[in-house]
Amino acid sequence: MDKSQPENLKNAGLKSTLPRLKILGLFESGQERHMSAEDVYKLLLSTGDDVGLATVYRVLTQFEHAGLLVRHNFEGGKSVFELNEGKHHDHIVCLQCGHVEEFYDTTIESRQKKVAAELGFEVHDHSLHIYADCTKTKCPHKPRNV
């Protein structure tokens, strides 16, 4: 977890470039675990790191293929990425604001496998998605950037 970023990129067979280091750095900073391409792009702009949006998309996809990031398509239309830290977990997503929380529940895990088997499916490592609302009245999280 303390491996320097250039090393991470090398191991992934990717050349160590500024855009890649910046983007990986954002995810490793832990500020925001789940980000869309647009989120990353705007964050970089806000810190003066001018990276093209197309490059953000390309790098995110490369990182996904390299196993550094995991891509999710939650309800809402845009792809969301998170650091691949090896430990399996599921996600619960707010339908109002898009906020994402992670969880791991052994009962759900085993039950999920059972249900899948009965229906002729085999669960591998993909996250299960629960969709809900942060609260019944008003959503405490930031409004979904649609």
Partner DNA sequence: ATGAGTGCAAATTTTTTGCAGGCCT
Partner DNA sequence: AGGCCTGCAAAAAATTTGCACTCAT
Binding residues: 88, 90, 94, 97, 109, 126, 134
- Give the one entry of a second copy, DNA, none that residue 108 binds, where binding means its C-beta sits below a cut-off of 5 to 8 angstroms depending on kind: a second copy
Tell me if 37 sits within 8 A of 79, measured CB to CB. Answer: yes
Asked if residue 93 binds DNA (CB under 7 A), the reply is no
d(CA 20, CA 11): 13
> How many C-beta atoms surround the C-beta of residue 36 within 10 A?
20
Candidate ranges 16-24, 105-113, 116-124, 132-140; the one touching DNA (CB under 7 A): 16-24
Of 25 and 140, the one with the shorter C-beta distance to a second copy is 140
Candidate ranges 13-21, 36-44, 47-55, 68-76; the one touching a second copy (CB under 8 A): 68-76
> How many C-beta atoms surround the C-beta of residue 74 within 10 A?
19
Asked if residue 59 binds DNA (CB under 7 A), the reply is yes
Q: What is the CA radius of gyration of the chain?
A: 17
User: Cα–Cα–Cα angle for 121, 122, 127, nearest 5°?
Assistant: 105
Chosen residue from 115, 143, 144, 145 binding a second copy by CB under 8 A = 115
Rounded to 10 deg, the angle between the 53-66 and 18-28 helix axes is: 70
Of 21 and 95, the one with the shorter C-beta distance to a second copy is 95
Asked if residue 25 binds DNA (CB under 7 A), the reply is no
